[in-house]
Amino acid sequence: MLTQLFALALIAPALGGCESITNLWGPKDDPVLDEPADRIYNEGLYLLNIKRDVKGAAKRFEEVDRQHPYSEWARKSLIMSAYAYYEAGAYEDSVNASRRYIQLHPGSPDAAYAQFLIGSSYFDQIRDVSRDQERTDKAISALDEVVRKYPSSEYAVSAKRKIEMARDQLAGQVMLVGRYYMDRRDYTGAINRFKIVVTRYQTTRHVEEALLRLTEAYMALGVVGEAQTSAAVLGHNFPESRWYKDAYALLNARGLEPSENTASWISRAFKLG
């Protein structure tokens, strides 16, 4: 929705001085050099919003910059080409155009949107948790720039939401590896993975399961105190969680109860969080 609003905001002033869409341009056999910047720009808007030809629109916006570099029309066209490429799913082109916009116009109000487009382009390419998460890391880094540099912009809230979703993805991959180690009865390796989730990704949905798995792994190793602490922290922070019910049942079957050791790394991690 934010991208749609952004496009509409630019369309209105751009078309305000035109007689009509149909009179903006006529058929032409050969490309005309040095066409008026506003004419090329409005051709791009027509292709984008009427014809829904986003790639064609991006090319027209780029033509403004080629024929009229350093003009105000070129500035507007550059951010619109970044948007059009994003809508077309041409993420690399969108990232490149957005970065160029930020480099040329760092003080522009639209720089926040350009940075948001970079993060969103990487975010939309996030892969399944079983695959490489390089794009997830890039999405978080780019979106964090939006939050850090433009905290009062209209894109900061959406950037934060996408960051949390991306972090959840990273936590999911760590959990996948942790479960693998659990299946192989490599409990120390599993604990090290679940510890990452508890310490780095505490706000994700995976932390509840990570605490249960810690309870299971510590019990398997005979480290009862840490198992009780993990279950106690799980119950204190997520009392209605199904994972807590499983952790409680596991301890109860051994005649034990959740009991927190405040000196444990698990307790300290949640106090810091």
Contact status, residue 213 vs residue 194, Cβ threshold 8 Å: yes
Mean pLDDT over residues 162-189, rounded? Answer: 97
| CA–CA dist 60, 48 (Å, integer) | 10
All domains in the chain, ordered by first residue: 1-108 (1.25.40), 185-273 (no CATH)
Q: Which residue pairs, CB below 8 angstroms and at least 24 apart, start in 68-73? A: 68/37, 71/37, 73/37, 73/38, 73/40, 73/41
pLDDT at 8 exceeding the cut of 50: no
Higher pLDDT, 144 or 19: 144
pLDDT at 16 exceeding the cut of 50: no
3-state secondary structure of 50: coil
pLDDT at 2 exceeding the cut of 60: no
Percentage, residues of the chain above pLDDT 70: 87
How many Å separate Cα 193 from the centre of its chain?
A: 23
pLDDT at 34 exceeding the cut of 90: no
- Tell me the two tokens of residue 139: 């999405």
pLDDT at 1 exceeding the cut of 70: no
Confidence of residue 273 (pLDDT cuts 50, 70, 90): low
pLDDT reported for residue 18: 41
pLDDT at 222 exceeding the cut of 80: yes
| CA–CA dist 86, 82 (Å, integer) | 6
Helix, strand, coil fractions of the chain, as percent rounded to 5: 70, 0, 30
pLDDT reported for residue 155: 97
pLDDT tens, position by position, 250-268: 999 999 999 999 999 999 9
